[in-house]
Amino acid sequence: MGNAKTARDRFLVGFTGVLLAAVLSSGAVSSGADAAVTVAVRPSVVFAGRDVRGTVRTPRDARNRELRIVVEAADYYASSDVQLDGEDAPATHQFTWKELPSGAYRVEATLTRENGERRSAAECFAVLGLDDSADALRAPPKRSALPDADTRSGC
């Protein structure tokens, strides 16, 4: 039985190495200061009165200074600013929005660096009410548009 365990261990070590090499070469794991800011909102459609959670990922970089999150709809606007301490700041930031009124929402995350450079990402979600029609869920206005942002995502 000792030989069976050794053979299995050799297979697992070899398989793990091949899998790790495939992931790294495919670019699925990005690292460094040039990685993009990402926004994920879950769920993407929710009934009014429920909570919506958002996760923002930022690259670790000594130049990172501030993260601004803007949530907007036709009749709703909220923003939050998070101070970032460069490389020591967490890479993942989580937000929860409670009991939002019905409508189409846009979440935008903007990362500001010490030299004023901005990187942004956006994602949309919908909050459904009892009296909503298809017209009620049109895309929200882009009030927080930043002309110098290097990545703009509409919904």
Nearest CA among 46, 102, 55, 53 for reference residue 74: 102
Q: Which CATH architecture has domain 38-137?
A: Sandwich (2.60)
- At 35, the pLDDT band (50, 70, 90 cuts) reads confident
Tell me the mean pLDDT in the region 89-105. 94
Q: Report residue 12 as tokens.
A: 């697992």
Tell me the mean pLDDT in the region 97-104. 92
pLDDT of residue 142 exceeding 80, the answer is no
pLDDT of residue 146 exceeding 70, the answer is no
- At 137, the pLDDT band (50, 70, 90 cuts) reads low
**Which residues have a Cβ under 8 Å from the Cβ of 153 and sit 6 or more positions away?**
120, 121, 122, 123
* Domain range summary for the chain, segments of one domain joined by +: 1-30, 38-137
Q: Tell me how crowded residue 57 is: count the other CB atoms within 10 A of its CB.
A: 16
pLDDT of residue 19: 40
Nearest CA among 120, 108, 128, 105 for reference residue 46: 128
